[in-house]
């Protein structure tokens, strides 16, 4: 009885918390779901992320947030730092797909893969399996961006930016659709 209770609690912790790249489950791999203050004084530098379909997403970090070459003034942008093996990351995909479709003319999601050992073919299969309708980026530049966004160690973490590139909010761990949508509306309006 006690072993099954402990196992159940561990499973729930993984499902409703966050994940990191560790291979064992202990208290340090669980990211508590919360809104966090983030240092919005980014160091100005340029980034070019590469999507699985070999398109480039370019932007510059500013002291206020991120200026996206393609989306500035047009769309609010959610940076979703995730891993394919992370249960909360996978659980959030249907919500992200739905919100992307609902706000497609004013909102973009850029998923940043936080894994080094995945092939393009594996990620393309993951996209198809989960019906993902937004770009996923791969490569070393993802890790440089993760460092700029506060030295990310656990996933999922998401960062929302307004149409003019100003930082709006950071989400850690599994986030409800209602919370995401509330902030997305704010990012679109600003």
Of 38-52, 113-127, 149-163, which range is least confident?
A: 38-52
Q: What residues make up the domain containing 74?
A: 2-189
pLDDT over 80 at 150, yes or no: yes
**Which stretches of 17-86 are DSSP H helices?**
none
Distances (CA, A) of 136 to 36, 106, 132, 133, 170: 24, 18, 9, 9, 19
Distance, CA of 78 to CA of 101 (rounded, Å): 14
User: Is the pLDDT assigned to residue 2 strictly greater than 60?
Assistant: no
Of the candidates 36, 155, 178, 138, which has an alpha carbon nearest to the alpha carbon of residue 87? 155
Residue 153, both tokens: 């160690």
- At 100, the pLDDT band (50, 70, 90 cuts) reads very high
Q: Above 60 in pLDDT, residue 23? A: no
Q: Are 59 and 149 in contact (CB under 8 A)?
A: no
pLDDT at 15 over 90: no
Is the CB of residue 50 less than 8 Å from the CB of residue 138?
Answer: yes
Contacting residues for 101 by C-beta, under 8 A, at least 6 apart? 133
112: helix, strand or coil: strand
Q: At 17, phi and psi to the nearest 5?
A: -105, -155
CA gap 114, 123 in Å, rounded: 12
Overall domain count for the chain: 1
Write the CATH number for 83. 3.40.30.10
pTM confidence score: 0.80
């Amino acid at each position: 009885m006690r072993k099954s209770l402990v196992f159940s609690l561990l499973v729930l912790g993984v499902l409703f918390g966050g994940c990191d790249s560790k291979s064992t489950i202990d208290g340090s791999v669980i990211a508590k779901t919360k809104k966090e203050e983030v240092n919005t004084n980014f160091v100005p530098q340029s980034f070019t992320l590469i999507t699985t379909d070999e398109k480039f997403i370019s932007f510059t970090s500013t002291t206020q947030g991120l200026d996206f070459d393609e989306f500035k003034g047009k769309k609010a942008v959610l940076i979703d730092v995730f891993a394919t093996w992370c249960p909360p990351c996978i659980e959030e995909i249907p919500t992200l797909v739905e919100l992307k479709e609902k706000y497609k003319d004013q909102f973009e999601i850029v998923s940043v893969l936080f894994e080094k050992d995945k092939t393009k073919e594996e990620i393309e299969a993951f996209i198809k399996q989960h019906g993902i309708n937004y770009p996923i980026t791969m490569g070393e530049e993802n890790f440089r961006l993760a460092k700029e966004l506060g030295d990310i160690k656990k996933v999922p973490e998401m960062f929302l930016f307004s149409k003019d590139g100003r930082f709006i909010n950071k989400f850690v761990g599994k986030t409800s659709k209602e919370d995401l949508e509330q902030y997305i509306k704010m990012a679109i309006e600003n």
